[in-house]
Structure 1
Amino acid sequence: MERIRSKLFIALLYSLSLIAPSIYATDFEYCNKKKEYAVTVSGVEINPDPITKGQETSFTISAFTDKPLSGGKVVIGVAYFGWSVFSETGDLCASISCPIPAGDLTISYSKLLPALAPPGSYTLTLKIQDGNKSELTCIKFDFTIGFFGSSEGLFDG
């Protein structure tokens, strides 16, 4: 009986270790630590964490603005060991309804990562610009893609 309890306990700990990483926020830093941005970021969450190749990954940014925003752009850049490998510019109002009132806001961004994405360290830079291309905020955070992941797409056509 004690052996069964021990195995159940180990299984429970393993299950929690798979769930727990997606609960915690990712560390981030502002692109310019001396600048006071109009939009302050309070947290970044990555789901799933760790990231799995060949699956959609969501990045959720929690932020605050003390002034309403009528619109703008979201500029995303990804670097792999310092080399730019992806960039995209989108309408801020596509990920959150505009106008954005003063207060808390959440921006979500999802992307299907290719099954053949090389493993290693990546840095994502996210900028929010107003209609005049003035930077409202700019943050950077690191993430890792492991050696193993989904095999979807490896043997397609």
Structure 2
Amino acid sequence: MRLTTVLLSLACVLGVATAMPFLPPPANATVVECGDDTDLLKIDYVNLDPNPPQKGQVLNIDAKAFLKENVVEGAKIFLTVKVGVIKLLTKELDFCEESVKVDKPCPLLAGEQTLKHSVELPKEIPPGKYLVNVKVKNPDEKQVTCLVATAVFTL
């Protein structure tokens, strides 16, 4: 699976349709850590612009974090995408193959990390509550990070 597909999956989860006038305004998308203090990456912030994201528009992602140890060759990304209780996608990806696609080197060296990336959201996002779970682990099984992103698509 290409990083564009992963980013699209993440971006889709973050995308929330423009509400119709008789519906409440869409809730902001959320990205939260689901790991613990032993995770190698501690996130300072993740900003989404616009938030809530809009179908058919560009979603800008700006994030900052601190990495305690290097993320090395052989690290894996575990991705799960659900709509409600239905699992749409489960994938295992090679971290190094994916990181270079967002201009991040491999190994990713310890220290302050920033990410600025833009993704065009498709216009055809089906309605529903979306949840994306992303875990990254080094080959020694140390968890780099665990993230959960949620968003609700309306008609």
Answer whether TM exceeds 0.5 for this pair.
Answer: yes
Q: Normalization by structure 1: what TM-score? A: 0.57
Q: CA deviation at 1:50?
A: 2.0
Please state whether the residue corresponding to 1:118 is helix, strand or coil: coil
Q: Return the match for 2:77 from 74, 79, 86.
A: 74
Q: Using a 3 Å threshold, how does the CA distance of structure 1 residues 69 and 91 change in structure 2: closer, same or farther?
A: closer
Q: Return the match for 1:31 from 9, 15, 34.
A: 34
Q: Which blocks of at least 5 consecutive residues in structure 2 are unaligned?
A: 1-27
Contact kept? 1:75, 1:128, Cα under 8 Å: yes
Corresponding residue number in structure 2 for 1:83: 86
Corresponding residue number in structure 2 for 1:115: 123
Who wins on radius of gyration, i.e. which is larger?
1
Q: CA deviation at 1:76?
A: 3.2
Corresponding residue number in structure 2 for 1:143: 151
Greater RCO (Cα-Cα under 8 Å, separation 6 or more): 2
Counterparts of 1:63 and 1:84 in 2: how far apart (Å)? 29
Q: Normalization by structure 2: what TM-score? A: 0.58
Q: CA deviation at 1:138?
A: 0.3
Summarize deviations over 1:88-138 as a string: whole Å, max 9, x none.
Answer: 535343231233232111346665544322123222222222134542110
Q: Using a 3 Å threshold, how does the CA distance of structure 1 residues 59 and 145 change in structure 2: closer, same or farther?
A: farther
Q: Using a 3 Å threshold, how does the CA distance of structure 1 residues 55 and 27 change in structure 2: closer, same or farther?
A: closer
Counterparts of 2:85 and 2:132 in 1: how far apart (Å)? 10
- Percent identity over the alignment is 21
Q: Which blocks of at least 5 consecutive residues in structure 1 are unaligned?
A: 1-24, 148-157
Q: Using a 3 Å threshold, how does the CA distance of structure 1 residues 119 and 86 change in structure 2: closer, same or farther?
A: same
Corresponding residue number in structure 1 for 2:52: 50
Q: Using a 3 Å threshold, how does the CA distance of structure 1 residues 38 and 75 change in structure 2: closer, same or farther?
A: same
Contact kept? 1:51, 1:144, Cα under 8 Å: no
Counterparts of 2:29 and 2:127 in 1: how far apart (Å)? 19
Corresponding residue number in structure 2 for 1:8: none
Provide the alpha-carbon RMSD of the alignment.
Answer: 3.1
Q: CA deviation at 1:80?
A: 1.6
Summarize deviations over 1:43-95 as a string: whole Å, max 9, x none.
Answer: 22223322222345454442211223334333333222232224453534323
Corresponding residue number in structure 2 for 1:12: none
Counterparts of 1:125 and 1:138 in 2: how far apart (Å)? 7
